[in-house]
Amino acid sequence: MKKMTLRQSVTNFRKRIVNSLPLYSRKSVNTLVTAAEEVAKSRRGTVTQQYIESVDKIVDQPWPYLLLKKYANRHPFLRIVHGAIIREAVRNRWDVQEKFAKKCTFCGQEFAEPVEECPDCGPTALLRDPNPQEKKRLEAFLDNPNRDDEMVDIIKSVFKDNLAVDDWYVSIKNIGGNQWVVYVEDSAEMFICADKQGRLGNGVWFCPECWKPEEHEKTYPGKGACPYCDVPLKETAYVQKQEGTIKARFGRDEIIHGNSDPWLPQLYGNSKVMAVLQELRTAFAMSSFNFDTYASGHLAKIIFMEGEDQSKATEIGKAAKEQAEKIEIDAWTGRIGRKIRNLFFGSRGKVSVHDVMPDPEKMQSLEWMEF
């Protein structure tokens, strides 16, 4: 039989529906179906905002996610705000409750009250109670979402990703039968694969069982079964990249990707941290500046030296630096290092020493820390 085009099937459907209706309502139904036809005909526009790699159709992240995560992790402002939100969100933990009192086995309708029969399907349709087995399965999963992590840590991490970069990824894997495990994937390393219209998937198929980075990176141009282990191939919808190399591939049913601030047709979320990044950077710089002041115990100086030309001054400065080199701790990384604090200039006048930094009291440095 010849396959019907979309238009033909819509037309046939319209005829069938309209003919079964009373005359007075045919016109309005016709208008509605015509509108639906218009929608069906229209194609999606192009997602131009995002850069798409030609190989593997990997869509670039809109912001530097690694940087955003660093800010969320290190900056006290963000830590305090994000921490408060997350604490509030997981405060009451959870419990598993019945989703319905009765469910129609025919149409799937769920009822909060224990009804006698489904109002749509009548007395012949069987109603069922909640299945205690399903409850047990869900509780077992919540107790043990994977071999290593607690569910509360998974949820907290998802929230952190959501607040920092506004994209979180949880991978789902079947470990046999009805058993599934979930893992939080690093949002800074996860990329969406999509075409120019923003449709998920890149036409590169892989075996979910045997594809392994560097060992067995075999991919296929279309669907089918894996020639090695005979499981159905999956189309790559997400990849995990480390330093430009694909370390993992995921099919569309292997990842839950979420964000709280979507802006379609863009595929990624919209990090709120981006909106305050400039302010954060300023605060960061001021904080580092203050740390330098208090940690070193003296102020940085500019020293002008009488009768010396610049090269001589630089030489003296270098020698002084070598002597004065002392160990310091970086405010953010805790790493131990050294820093030169003084600048030497050759000058025709007398030696003069200038403080570069104003008095910390005048800078209201302590007030600054009272955020």
Which residues of the shown chain bind Zn ion in the complex (CB under 5 A)? 104, 106-107, 109, 118, 120-121, 125, 207, 209-210, 226, 228-229
Read off the amino acid at residue 193.
C
Minimum distance from residue 121 beta carbon to Zn ion (Å): 3
Strand partners, 216: 212
Q: What are phi and psi of 142, to 5 degrees?
A: -65, -35
Within 13 Å, how many C-alpha atoms sit on residue 273's CB side? 30
If the CB atoms of residues 107 and 366 are measured against Zn ion, the closer one turns out to be: 107
- Taking CB atoms within 8 Å and a gap of at least 24, the contacts of 226-235 are 231/207, 233/205, 233/206, 233/207, 233/208, 234/205, 234/206, 234/207, 234/208, 235/201, 235/202, 235/203, 235/204, 235/205
User: Hey, is 246 helix, strand or coil?
Assistant: strand
If the CB atoms of residues 217 and 355 are measured against Zn ion, the closer one turns out to be: 217
The one-character DSSP state at 232 is B
Which residue, chain included where needed, has tokens 């594809």? Answer: 211
Minimum distance from residue 26 beta carbon to Zn ion (Å): 29
Q: Which of 209, 204, 239 is nearest to 220 (CA)?
A: 204
Could you tell me if 21 and 29 are in contact, meaning their C-beta atoms sit under 8 angstroms apart?
yes
Minimum distance from residue 190 beta carbon to Zn ion (Å): 23
102: number of Cβ within 10 Å:
19
How far is residue 142's CA from residue 155's CA, in Å, rounded to a whole number?
Answer: 11
How far is residue 187's CA from residue 169's CA, in Å, rounded to a whole number?
Answer: 6
If the CB atoms of residues 104 and 188 are measured against Zn ion, the closer one turns out to be: 104
User: Hey, is 55 helix, strand or coil?
Assistant: coil
If the CB atoms of residues 169 and 211 are measured against Zn ion, the closer one turns out to be: 211
If the CB atoms of residues 21 and 229 are measured against Zn ion, the closer one turns out to be: 229
Minimum distance from residue 117 beta carbon to Zn ion (Å): 9
If the CB atoms of residues 75 and 234 are measured against Zn ion, the closer one turns out to be: 234
If the CB atoms of residues 65 and 205 are measured against Zn ion, the closer one turns out to be: 205
Minimum distance from residue 115 beta carbon to Zn ion (Å): 10
**Greatest C-alpha distance within the chain:** 108
Minimum distance from residue 110 beta carbon to Zn ion (Å): 10
Strand partners, 104: 127
If the CB atoms of residues 94 and 228 are measured against Zn ion, the closer one turns out to be: 228
Contact residues for 333 (Cβ-Cβ < 8 A; gap 6+)? none
If the CB atoms of residues 76 and 224 are measured against Zn ion, the closer one turns out to be: 224
Minimum distance from residue 249 beta carbon to Zn ion (Å): 12
Minimum distance from residue 237 beta carbon to Zn ion (Å): 18
How far is residue 159's CA from residue 167's CA, in Å, rounded to a whole number?
Answer: 9
Cβ neighbourhood burial of 192 (10 Å; 0-12, 13-18, 19+): buried
Minimum distance from residue 22 beta carbon to Zn ion (Å): 26
